[in-house]
Structure 1
Amino acid sequence: MSGTPERPLRADAARNRARLLDTATEVFATRGIGVPTEEIARAAGVGVGTLFRHFPTKEALLEAVLVRKLETIAVRAAQLPAETAPAEAFFDCLRLVVEQSAGKTEFAQALAAAGVDAHATLREATTAIRARLSELLAGAQRAGAVRPELGPPELIALLIGTTTAMEHLGDDASARERVFAVLFDGLRPPGGIRA
């Protein structure tokens, strides 16, 4: 490390990087992570050289997409308490985490196979999301909308299980809604507040 600060990207380079991330996110979500980088570059309307200037390897692109997804979750989760009541904010955040985490396991496995420690890369965003979930859980419990005995470790375990279950359901929207209904009903105390 040289000790000199990293120079910000030029405006056109920043736009290209953002477009590549947007395109890669969409392509990976719809077609899987096996799509060649050349196809992603073509879909983004840039040359493959531009893609590799921003992301020297496919793993670097996968990592950037995954980090961006988690950062997006963290930002949105931070906004929820100001927009809705505690119970609604909590349940909206759970839905957000589950929906946005789709495919995370596939990404993490591909990165691990390439020798990339995805957990280290994602630690900051994951920590922010867990902190926000803990705050939202406490607020929903104070409002009487969530079982008081539920703690953050159990909540994280439920989210991991639900995310995995959703991956098995694929695109069956009605089945996904039934899973959310079961999860949400199980989190509420008998006679608790509905969000």
Structure 2
Amino acid sequence: MTKIGYARVSTSDQDCRLQEEALRQAGCDVIRSEKRSGTSTKGREELDTVLSFLRPGDILVVTKIDRLARSLADLLKIVEGLQATGAALQAIDQPVDTSSAAGKAFLQMLGVFAEFETNLRRERQMEGISAAKARGVYRGRPPKIDAEEIRRLKDEGVGASDIAKRLKIARASVYRVLGDAPATTKAGETA
């Protein structure tokens, strides 16, 4: 049985050292760390690495479940993968051990609360943005696409592909601004 630790923080100004120390004290032979958001498992290369080298009987150890996943769907997907491998999951600061029925139930409850917390944070953020817009403080991200420049180039006879290259944008964006759908050939390719 090998204990493999996984530590994660969300931003570059945060540090994994406390988690790594706790994982070492829990007896982890290998520890992988990364600085990535936990709202998705996409792009979390260290997590992918850890999951790929777990073997039957191994234990994936985290300090808290939210270090592993912030959505119940992602958490359950990870746990199902562990179970298929024959590995287990333990959380140091929470009574989670997927080798027992009680541990599995507690894990699912924690996953629900982690997802709930993420949704609440998103709602508060959207409320803050709405309030800032109402006060005229927040205007959103400035548009990257200059619609007037696209129309001017089109009026000069420049084609959509050349406009896209000149403005360093996708050709689909040019078509969207112009309100034109690209002509398609029989094979479904754009002309």
TM-score by length of 2: 0.28
Instruction: Give 1 or 2: higher helix fraction.
Output: 1
Higher relative contact order (CA 8 A, sep 6+): 1
Instruction: Give 1 or 2: higher strand fraction.
Output: 2
TM-score by length of 1: 0.28
Question: Rg: which structure is higher?
Answer: 2
